[in-house]
A and B are shown apart, each in its own frame.
Chain A
Amino acid sequence: MSVRRRHEHTPQHRRSLGSTADAGQSCIHRVYDGECRADRPGPRIARHLSSPDDTVISIRGLRKSYGGFEAVRGIDLEVRRGEVFAFLGPNGAGKTTTVEILEGYRKHSGGEVSVLGEDPEGAGRAWRERIGIVLQSCRLDPYLTVRESLELYAGYYRAPRPVDETIELVGLGAKADARTGGLSGGQQRRLDVGMALVGDPELLFLDEPTTGFDPSARRQAWEAIAGLRDLGKTVFLTTHYMDEAQRLADRVTIIARGQVVAAGTPEELGDRESLPTTISYRLDGEEVAVETRSPVADLHELTARAVAEGLELEALEVTRPNLEDIYLSLTAEGGEDDR
């Protein structure tokens, strides 16, 4: 269940799926946790007065093969400074392969990749000073305390963020001297984010930060991530949860089977006209469900006939597709579970 309330879509936000046009305008109108973003000026508004150096990540025609298998088949995307960018797809869509290429862990087989102006493949220490990485799964050293874990990582950077400040930033003040082995899953993930932030990077990679979490741990992690945008960090978030992308991201790119299937703001992707509406009812004990693209006319016809014939349509319901349905319809075709 999403906490976020939406403003009505204004006509200029009704872009088609697949549009990659600048979504800055619609973001400003977003309401997040009941707080209107329009009240908060700063980097988020400055962002869409964009200049070319505002591109933090740029990918053109990215390809990656393992033997004969092509995990990534020509991905294009661009991430701008200061935005939370969600990279969404089911397991095996090529998300982790792509993000590991961006992080410099893997080589790519084709296309162009630029992260902070460099190809991650040959990037050195100076480049690593500018990025922070939170891996999909990483068990932190259970014998170090929260503070020691952060001190250890702070020591790897030339100009780290103060450790105490970082502890407060991820909300672990009360646990600063606790060993990490005793932290809950959500707390460990926040520390993990803290260890990526302690180097004060410009760009942060978060790979499926809440996979396997219970709802409360998930919420905690979300709060930590939402806080990152206020620090002006650029965040590249991979996830397979539509609600996570919807809740956290300024822009979303959805991939399936190694290719981009949709891109845009959460509002644009949530444009409900791309999928049919379902009219369902029960007649003589039988469940009937009709998918239609003209629900008003069809509903009118249906109820008129029912009234004329004196029939009761039990449990009559009109259901518009939710974001999850849209996401599933985009990623389900073909269906095979590759990597």
Chain B
Amino acid sequence: MSGLALFAHQFRYDQKVFWRNPASVFFTVAFPVLLLLIFATVFGGQTVEVRGGIDTTAYYVPAIITLSVISATMQSLAMSLVIAREDGRLKRGRGTPMPAWVFIAGRVGNSAVVAVLMLALIAAIGGLAYGVAFPWDRLPQVLLVLLVGAASFCCLGIALTAAIPSQDAAAPIVNALLLPLYFLSGVFIPDDQLQRRHPLLADLFPIRHFFEAFFAVYDPGSAGASVEWGNLAAVAGWGVAGLALAIRYFRWTPRGG
């Protein structure tokens, strides 16, 4: 089989496994939807002082899409790769003629497809339930930011597996990293500081940069509609660093034995 056919084959089975696993469907698909519904219910009707004031739902739709993309990529990859590694499936796969890149590409392809689906799902709920219009005129920019973010967080997720010693440690480590950063980065709690130019602790990490870049192209109130290249470059920089760490430290064999 050609490389592409092998990739398609692997991707098909990765999709089956993803959609049949209740944990991955809950945390990657249902949980972000639930968060959006809760936040919109609790904080809906209030105003966030961004760009002269917008409704909280207009704030939360891009925020939850940001979270969904990170969840579908970094979180989902780190968890599933560690589980497969510790179960011995990665090592077993390496014993077949399948090239290593096909295995990784299948997983990354799975993450990318889920990320795009989540964009569509959250955007649709935002539009139908809360009247937050999708910025059709900026579709290329939205997709560009999504693509750079998804690729970067995939690299970070693969790199993170090297720091996770066991299956049991996967969820605590991933959540201990992501949850505080979601708070600091204004994903959970509307942040009036968004779009203001003074340095914050969260600026050291990629999540806020990704959120700001995504918010800028998604928010219908933002004029000019240009891509925030600085934020996007910061996200990509993290992605490249993650890629380098992943290439250096990723392992196929179980750490537990």
Which A residues are within 8 Å of any B CB, using their own CB?
103-105, 125-126, 128-129, 131, 133, 135, 137-141, 143-144, 148, 151-153, 155-158, 195, 199
CB atoms of A138 and B91 under 8 A apart = yes
C-alpha gap A266/B100 in the complex (Å): 40
| Residue of chain B at shortest CB distance from A139 | B87
A133-B13 contact, Cβ under 8 Å, with A139-B88, A143-B20, A155-B6? no
A128 contact set on B, CB distance < 8 A: 95-97
Q: Contact between B89 and A148 (Cβ–Cβ < 8 Å)?
A: no
Is B89's CB under 8 angstroms from A156's CB?
A: no
Question: Is B34 part of the contact surface with A, judged by Cβ < 8 Å?
Answer: no
Contact A133 to B6, CB < 8 A, known contacts A144-B13, A144-B17 = no
Are A141 and B89 in contact, with the CB atoms below 8 A? yes
Q: Given A105-B253, A156-B6, A141 and B94 touching (CB < 8 A)? A: no
How far is A110 from B98 in the complex, measured between Cα atoms in Å? 28
20 chain-A/chain-B pairs, Cβ below 8 angstroms: A105-B94, A125-B99, A137-B88, A138-B87, A138-B91, A139-B88, A139-B89, A143-B17, A143-B20, A144-B13, A144-B17, A148-B13, A148-B16, A151-B13, A152-B13, A153-B96, A155-B1, A155-B10, A156-B96, A199-B97
Q: Which residues of A contact B255 (CB under 8 A)?
A: none
- What distance in Å separates the Cβ of A204 from its nearest Cβ neighbour in chain B? 11
Which of B10, B96, B253, B257 gathers the greatest number of chain A CB atoms within 10 Å? B96
Question: Shortest 3 CB-CB distances between A and B: which pairs?
Answer: A138-B88, A139-B87, A133-B95
Interface string of B179-197 (1 = CB under 8 A from A): 0000000000000000000
Chain B positions within 8 Å of A, measured between CB atoms, are 1, 6, 9-10, 13, 16-17, 20-21, 84, 87-89, 91-92, 94-99, 253, 257
Is B16 a contact partner of A143 (Cβ separation < 8 A)?
Answer: yes
Residues of A close to B9: CB separation below 8 A: 152, 155
Q: Give A195's nearest chain B residue, CB to CB.
A: B92
What number of A-B contacts does a CB cutoff of 8 Å give? 65
Closest to A124 in B: B97
Given the known interface contacts A128-B95, A155-B9, A199-B96, the answer about A140 and B89 at a Cβ–Cβ threshold of 8 Å is yes
Once bound together, how far apart are the Cα atoms of A69 and B89, in whole Å?
29
**Residue pair A143, B91 in contact (C-beta under 8 Å):** no
How many Å lie between the Cα of A135 and that of B90 in the bound state? 11
* Residues from chain A with Cβ under 8 Å of B89 in the complex: 138-141
CB-CB < 8 A to B84: which residues of A? Answer: 141
A138 to B200, CA, bound (A): 46
- The interface residues of chain B lying within 8 Å CB-to-CB of A155 are 1, 6, 9-10
Complex CA gap A152/B96 in Å reads: 11
Q: Which of B21, B88, B98, B253 contacts A156 (CB 8 A)?
A: B98
Query: Nearest CB to that of B24 among chain A residues?
Result: A143
B97 in contact with A156 (CB, 8 Å): yes
By a CB distance below 8 angstroms, the chain B residues around A144 are: 13, 16-17
Assuming the contacts A137-B257, A148-B16, A158-B1, asked whether A125 and B94 have C-beta atoms less than 8 A apart, the reply is: no
In the complex, besides A128-B95, A135-B88, A148-B13, 13 extra interface pairs with C-beta distance below 8 angstroms are A103-B95, A104-B95, A105-B253, A128-B96, A128-B97, A133-B92, A133-B95, A133-B96, A138-B88, A139-B88, A155-B1, A156-B98, A158-B97
Contact present for A105 and B20 (CB under 8 Å): no
**Once bound together, how far apart are the Cα atoms of A155 and B12, in whole Å?**
11
On chain A, the residues within 8 Å of B20 by CB distance are 143
Chain B residues, CB < 8 A from A153: 96
**What is the CA–CA distance of A119 and B87 in the complex, to the nearest angstrom?**
28
Complex contacts, A129 vs chain B, CB 8 Å: 97
Which residues of B have CB within 8 Å of A156? 6, 96-98
